[in-house]
Structures are given as C-alpha cells and as structure tokens.
Structure 1
C-alpha cells in the first residue's frame, strides 16, 4: 500500500497443487536449498546466502508471526483488500515467511489453490491440503506452468533488488481480470509532533540501515514507490491505501493502541536481526559498536515522550 498523504494520528494523553504447478517446469528441491548457516550467533538460510539479510531462526520466525498479527490489525482482520471472487482460483503468495497468511487464506477459501514462495525454508509443515510451499527466489525467472488469479506480496521491504522486474513478472503471470496486491512499509520513521528528531539514536540507526541497504541494492522506502511501479508494469484499476502506523501504544483509540504495541514489539525484537549483516558486513562496524548503538536505540524506543510512526 502506498499513495496519498496519511491521516494524522491523535495522541492519547492518557486440491491438488498441480493445478498451478505441474512440477515439470519447477526445479526439484535440493538438499542444499534446505541448509542453513550460523553467523553472529544467529541462523541464516544458505540458499543464495546474502540475498536476504535477516536470520531465519526461531526468534525471527516469532517476530514474523507478530508482524502477521500487526497486518491483521492494520487491515481490520481482512486477509486481502482486493475485491476477490468467492472462489479466488489460483493464488500465489510471494515471500510467504512462516506461511501464516497462506494457511489462513487457504482455510478461508478451501476451493483456492495456494502456493507460498520464500527463499528461506521457514514455512510450517502442517498445512491445509490446498496449500503448497516452495523454496525459491521470486527475483529469478518464474517458471509456473499456469497463470495465477491473485498474487499477494506483503512485507518484502529490503528483500528485493529489482522491484519493477518483480512487478512485470506479476503482470506476465496473472490471468486477465486477476488481482495483485502489494502491502509494504515506507520505513521512514517520523513524528507528527516533533518528538522524534535526527539527534535521536532511533533515527540515526534508521539512516544507517538505509545507507547499508542502498549499498547492496535495496530500498527500505518501498511503500512510497509501489503505486508508480505497479502502474509502470501495466496494471490498471490501481487502488491505493495509506495507513500511518504508530510505534508504541501512544495513539488514541483501542485499535491504534494495539497496532502501535504490535508494531513496537516486532521492531524492538527485530533490531539485532535487521542490523547484524547490514552494519557488520556492509558498513564495516564491529559487533560491540553495533550493540552499543542498539542500547541507545532501545532507550529511545522505551521513551514515552517520543511518538514515532511510519506509513504502510
């Protein structure tokens, strides 16, 4: 989601998978794809090592499940915003993560055929019969034998090097009349009351993350570009929604408080996971230097006088 100016946030003073993929055009999963490696005390996937900078250990998978719950709050418990038919047909979930969304969608639409794709082998083994997970890089050339009716792509910020190419692949692999839905962050923390400044460690850390991501060909400001990328790929009937998401439970209203709390938690718990490879491998920092910065970042995040947020 991206688009027009976000609203102001008020501060609270108080069957068969073969239908989609017949297996003839998809490479078989090799044992190497399922391997992992240890680095900096965290576990990372070994397939195309380095293309995804976050770990895939249990702590990170727990954080991804929190992020899934966050999107449920943002979307008011809707699994999709696209106006899908009661029987959606063939569905492709890009960047499936733990598989939570794909599983919930498959349960809600038992006639659908759902394929979740991720570069890391982190999906659940216990899935509905109409779900299949594949380990693959969505930036490679797609080889699906049949088109999809709905493509879902969420929270891929920092993971894609060529977004326009990904959009074109979606366009080329979508049936006429089908829908593609992108939901992602514009990770540019700000405050509407001036309480978050460039002097804060939270902002300094983010700017450094942006710098490191840029050096490896990634952007953290995906949300602000989604609409143009989608239109450039040839899609029509483009609908854009923009939601300001608080970081912390400081905003008015029960929904906004829950949104802020879940968002704060997934960011706070993921600080090290996001930072390690970006700072140590890309920026050349030492691990003690990074941990020292993160101590200050955590202090800022716990400061109730800072009312930070960003847009989705």
Structure 2
C-alpha cells in the first residue's frame, strides 16, 4: 500500500510559498471539484488495457502478468474452491480466534471471494482486501471493504492488524522478504499471518514419470518458458517452498508449515483428492491463456498465434489420463512476538 509521497516544493515558488490559482475562487466550496477529480481518478484505475484479446489491470500496469477480465475472475473463484478444498474446507489454518480479533487484511484479494467469506462467517471482523484491480463486487458484507493499491509500495501509517492473509501471489511479488517483513511490522503483538502459495513445477511421483519424454514434452517446454519469462520480470514463480524461510527470517514465532500435494486430473484414488485434481485440472486448462499471453508475447517476444498453437498441444497432454502430474501447495503461518 502506498502513501501519497509528494515533493513539498512541487508547484510552489522558490521561497516555498504555494501560489494560488486566482481562477478557482468562484465557488464557496470544494464539493464539485472533489467529485470531478475523484471521478477522473476512478476512471483511470478502471481504464483497463486490452492485450492479445485479454483485459489487464490499469493501476501499475505491467506489475502483474495475469489478466483481470471475467474469464480470469471465474478462474480465480474456481481456484479459491480448489485451495480451500485442498486444506480441508477451511479459509485459513492459523490458530486465530476469529471471534475475538478485530482487523484483518487480505493481500491480493482478487475477486474478493476470501474477504467476503471471512466477513460473512465472522461479522465481528473488519476485513480489508487489497488488490491492484478494482474487480470486486459493489455489494459486499458491511464489515468488508476493498482498496486498490500496490502492496509492494510503502505502507502508510494505519492501525495494525490482528490477522494478515496472503494467498496465491506466485509470479506477482518482486521482493518477498521485504513484503513478509512489512506484514510482521503491521501486525499487533500476538497477531498472526498466514501465507498460502504454490510450487508451480509440474512433477510426478509414480510410474507415469517413466513415460517417454515426448508424452509431456509440450508441458515441459511451455512451463520452462513461462518460468523464464516470470523471472525476467524479477518475480518468483515458485514462492511456496521458500515461505517458511522468509517467515522465520522476518521474526515470526510459532511458525508452522504444511505441504499439500495437489493432483492434476482425476487419477487419485482418494475421493477428496480426486475432487481436488478435477478442480486443479479445470483451473489450469481455463488459465493457460491467462498464464501465458503476456509472459510469452510481451516478455519473450512470441506472436499470439504461436502461443495459442503451443497451448493446444499443452491441453492435449494435460488431458492424457496416463500422465499423473501434480503440484505442491504450501501453507505457512506464524505469530508476532508480544515483546
């Protein structure tokens, strides 16, 4: 979140005195002027650019590699179901007494689905969702509100939080250690923070890994190119395995780390994992264009048609029932020391 840092001499004279616009005295109040100004600001935030047939956020354009259009919003909501199902149907795992705390921050709120679920389940909470895109619904629980801002900018002075939640920010954050430190600094003593994220490397733990390399060659090539593009933008595509280290380094105590293996497809025997696998496959297939277009076209210099041709081959390999791919999902939470 970013404070409005404005140089104190901008628009002023050499002696430091601010010159008055003599043409602005005709009205007795600022009401209409404020309305016009804030309307122009809101419109600039909502002037979403279109690239390769997909819509992207306008604020700090280029910071986030994924689109924010309706197709991507549907995928994000599906991924919310995937992640909550994977961890046992829960919104979080930290031992937070949500009935006794006050302020909660949701970093990278996306469509706002987690924030709204928290607000509905715990009406005593004040839930604040932060995101680069103003795509959240207008009608939300009365204890939930959203702000458009860059979480990697300096955080302005504000009341501290009792619980800070950060989920699915893979390929989004430039300086993870700094972000985790700011989370720690903005917690109340004994407050909790929870980070949930992926290791996006596709792998297999059974005999399907012995299939001829050509069976998954397009998946391997596509993912390696995508990860290269993300790293060229100075982002980390696989934050999950590093979360515990970052959380401990920031000073958190009572740190816990859990890893969840998420199948891709319905190949798992256990009923819950079969459901997780189908959700995972669906969100990946729905998201292939979203993951790829900006990374391949804007960063690597591919043509859109080349990307779409590759993605068709990736889809075909993803649908191969003989290939038992999976991803790892990490949940790490820790508490701020009361000292």
Same fold (TM over 0.5): yes
Q: Where does the alignment leave 5 or more consecutive residues of structure 1 unmatched?
A: 1-20
Kindly indicate whether residue 45 of structure 2 is the aligned counterpart of residue 33 of structure 1. Answer: yes
Deviates more, 1:190-199 or 1:163-172: 190-199
Deviations 1:21-46 (A, max 9, x none): 9xxx7797922223211111111111
Give the Cα separation in 2 of the matches to 1:124 and 1:162.
29
Task: Judge conservation of contact 2:75–2:286 (CA < 8 Å) in 1.
Answer: yes
Q: Which residue matches 2:70?
A: 58
Give the Cα separation in 1 of the matches to 2:139 and 2:205.
43
Query: Which of the numbers 248, 253, 258 marks the counterpart of 1:241?
Result: 258
Give the Cα separation in 1 of the matches to 2:101 and 2:271.
32
Task: Judge conservation of contact 1:26–1:144 (CA < 8 Å) in 2.
Answer: no
Give the Cα separation in 2 of the matches to 1:219 and 1:81.
24
Deviations 1:115-173 (A, max 9, x none): 00001111111110000100001001111410000000001111111100100110110
Q: Residue 195 of structure 1: CA displacement?
A: 2.2
Kindly indicate whether residue 283 of structure 2 is the aligned counterpart of residue 282 of structure 1. Answer: no
Give the Cα separation in 1 of the matches to 2:220 and 2:282.
17
Give the Cα separation in 1 of the matches to 2:54 and 2:226.
19
Kindly indicate whether residue 169 of structure 2 is the aligned counterpart of residue 156 of structure 1. Answer: yes
Secondary structure of the residue aligned to 1:290 is helix
Give the Cα separation in 2 of the matches to 1:190 and 1:80.
26
Give the Cα separation in 1 of the matches to 2:172 and 2:116.
22
Kindly indicate whether residue 67 of structure 2 is the aligned counterpart of residue 67 of structure 1. Answer: no
Give the Cα separation in 1 of the matches to 2:196 and 2:302.
32
Q: Which residue matches 1:14?
A: none
Q: Which residue matches 2:95?
A: 83
Query: Greater relative contact order: 1 or 2 (C-alpha under 8 angstroms, separation 6 or more)?
Result: 1
CA-atom RMSD, angstroms? 1.6
Q: Residue 285 of structure 1: CA displacement?
A: 1.0
Deviations 1:252-282 (A, max 9, x none): 1110011000011011100001100100111
Q: Which residue matches 2:17?
A: none
Query: Which of the numbers 325, 329, 332 marks the counterpart of 1:308?
Result: 325
Q: Which residue matches 2:119?
A: 106
Kindly indicate whether residue 286 of structure 2 is the aligned counterpart of residue 269 of structure 1. Answer: yes
Q: Residue 87 of structure 1: CA displacement?
A: 2.1
Deviations 1:201-229 (A, max 9, x none): 11211111111101010111110100001
| Length, aligned pairs only | 289
Task: Judge conservation of contact 1:88–1:109 (CA < 8 Å) in 2.
Answer: no
Give the Cα separation in 2 of the matches to 1:263 and 1:294.
17
Query: Which of the numbers 179, 186, 203 marks the counterpart of 1:166?
Result: 179
Q: Residue 175 of structure 1: CA displacement?
A: 0.4
Secondary structure of the residue aligned to 1:36 is coil
TM-score, with structure 2 as normaliser: 0.82
Q: Residue 88 of structure 1: CA displacement?
A: 2.4
Deviations 1:93-132 (A, max 9, x none): 0000000000010111111100000011111111100001
